[in-house]
Amino acid sequence: MRGRRPKPTRMKVLTGNPGKRPLNATEPNPAAAVPECPPELGPVAHREWNRLVGELVALRLLTNLDRAALAAYCGAYALWAEAMEAIQKFGTMVKSPSGYPIQSPYVAIANRQAEIMMRIASEFGFTPASRSRISTPSNTEPTLFDVLENSGPREE
C-alpha cells in the first residue's frame, strides 16, 4: 500500500474534514474504556501509565485496544528515564577499554527510546504538533462517540 496512512475517522471528526470526503461510518468504534495496566511494566513505567491514563480518559481517547500501544510508550519511557539517570551519573563520554573516550552506550539507548516515545506520542496526541490538529467538541456539540454512534445505517 502506497501513500499516506489513512487518517482514522475519529481524527477526521476532531481535526475537520477539509476535503469533504465521506466519513467511514462502518469503521470500528471501540468504546472508551480504561485498560488494565500490564503487570510486565516496572514501577517507573507504571507511574507513567497512571499519569497518562488519567489524561486520556478525561479526553475520552482511550479504549481497551490502546493497551499495548500505551504499554509500549510507558516501557520506552522507563528505559529512557533509566538511560538518562545513567548519563547524569557517568556523563555522555566514557573511557573505552583501550583508554580512549567514546560516547556512552546510554546515549544511544536514550536516543532510541526517545524516538519510540515520539512515534507513539504522536498517535495519542501527546505532542504539541499532534494536539494542534485536534479540536475537542464544546459541551453543546456532540462528541465523536455520539456522532459515530448515530451515523450508522438507518432503517426507515
Q: What is the pLDDT of residues 16-34, one digit of tens each?
A: 777 778 877 777 778 888 9
- In terms of DSSP H, where are the helices of the chain? 9-15, 43-58, 67-90, 105-124, 128-132, 144-150
Convert 65-100 to b/e letters by CB count within 10 Å (16 or more is b): ebbeebbbbbbbbbbbbbbbebeeeeeeeeeeeeee
Would you say 74 and 41 are in contact if contact means Cβ atoms under 8 Å apart?
Answer: yes
* Predicted pLDDT at 138: 54
User: Which residue in 66, 27, 65 sits closest to 144, CA to CA?
Assistant: 27
Greater pLDDT, 69 or 123? 69
Structure confidence at residue 156 (pLDDT): 46
Q: Is residue 65 within 8 Å of residue 30, measured between CB atoms?
A: yes
- Residue 73 has a pLDDT of 97
Min mean pLDDT across 56-70, 78-92, 111-125, 131-145 is at 131-145
Note the pLDDT tens digit of each residue in 75-91. 999 999 999 999 999 99
Distance CA 114, CA 120 (A): 10
The answer to whether 83 touches 109, Cβ cutoff 8 Å, is: yes
